[in-house]
Amino acid sequence: MTSTKSPGNQRPSMRRGKIAASVVALSLLGTACGSSSTKSATSSSSSTASASNSTTTSAPLNLNLIQPGVLTAATQSDEYPFAYTGSNGQVEGFSIDLMNQIATGLGLKVQYKAVAFSGLLADIAAHQYDVGAIGVAETAAREQTVSFSEPYYYGYFGIIAQKSSNYASVSDLNGKTVAVVQGTAQETYAKQYYPQMVLKNFPSQPTALAALEGGQVSAFFLGGPDTARYIKSNPNLSLVAAIQTTTPNAFPVGHGNTSLADAINGQVNKMFADGTFVTIYKKWFSVGLPPKLVSEYPVLANQ
């Protein structure tokens, strides 16, 4: 996949991200999202978002879309703050706002469908969806299934447990049952770096969280923003460890659809350059831009 880059963008095309193996004790509560909505929904839903409220350009003629004029986007209903079902029953979040803006710039509409993460990338590869509008990490293994856009986020992983357990480090979980959402980067990471854990797969975050709260598992390994949200909303939960990651989040598209990938990249870089990205980011996060993202896209440094 080729890349359309803005001036000053030094990121090599299709560079594969790597996860740092070090575990650090971080305070995650500062990453709580700035949105007024804090509850994720558990049911799947579909909605159509009209790309409006700004000047649009003529849509390219050769994007190989499933439906002409429409981006058919796979998403999730419970991945706050990236993609979740809001109180109004519509999908929203950081990734959703970015995708809506991308569609606006391309003169397209977006049709979202919330699906289970475990089959999402395979469905995109099978051309059941044009793109994924979620917070998905770009890994070498996933690049075998789909291609990825320019990155738009670098985050961290978190491990949470009941406060009463008094777990203070990852080593305290050796031999313990730890929940992961099936198909996520956290599952892959735990298998590689923490083989002493006994992993138990769940289809979604709410089911894994319910298992933790119900005592069926000892801990839950998940993404950082969700870690902060669950700790903030549940005083009985505490942070066991935070794991820094240099793996980028990016939009997945089907292999071979370089025209769509290039169009998305062009819009991502445009948002980096004109300040739109930073405005959207600050809506969902109360901490500064990820340093790794700024180092790859210097145009963000002064925003």
pLDDT mean across residues, the chain = 82
Q: What is the pLDDT of residue 61?
A: 55
Lowest mean pLDDT among 95-109, 192-206, 218-232: 218-232
Q: What is the mean pLDDT of residues 223-248?
A: 88
Q: What is the mean pLDDT of residues 158-170?
A: 95
In a domain, 238, yes or no: yes
Q: Is the pLDDT reported for residue 10 higher than 60? A: no
Nearest to 193 by CA among 18, 25, 28, 31: 18
Query: In the beta sheet, which residues pair with residue 177?
Result: 198
In a domain, 234, yes or no: yes
- Give the count of domains, the chain: 2
In a domain, 23, yes or no: no
In a domain, 166, yes or no: yes
Q: What is the pLDDT of residue 244?
A: 78
In a domain, 104, yes or no: yes
Q: What is the pLDDT of residue 236?
A: 95
- Write the CATH number for 67: 3.40.190.10
Q: What is the pLDDT of residue 23?
A: 42
In a domain, 220, yes or no: yes
Q: Is the pLDDT reported for residue 53 higher than 90? A: no
Nearest to 49 by CA among 110, 106, 95, 104: 110
Q: Looking at the structure, tell me whether residues 175 and 241 fall in a common domain.
A: yes
Whole domain around residue 183: which residue ranges?
A: 155-245
Q: Looking at the structure, tell me whether residues 39 and 109 fall in a common domain.
A: yes
Q: Looking at the structure, tell me whether residues 77 and 149 fall in a common domain.
A: yes
- Residue 184, Cα to own-chain centre: how many angstroms? 10
Rounded CA-CA distance 239/23 in Å is: 12
Q: Looking at the structure, tell me whether residues 217 and 274 fall in a common domain.
A: no
In a domain, 22, yes or no: no
Q: Looking at the structure, tell me whether residues 142 and 282 fall in a common domain.
A: yes
Given 228, 245, 262, the domain boundary residue is 245
Q: Looking at the structure, tell me whether residues 144 and 59 fall in a common domain.
A: yes
Q: Looking at the structure, tell me whether residues 180 and 277 fall in a common domain.
A: no
In a domain, 171, yes or no: yes
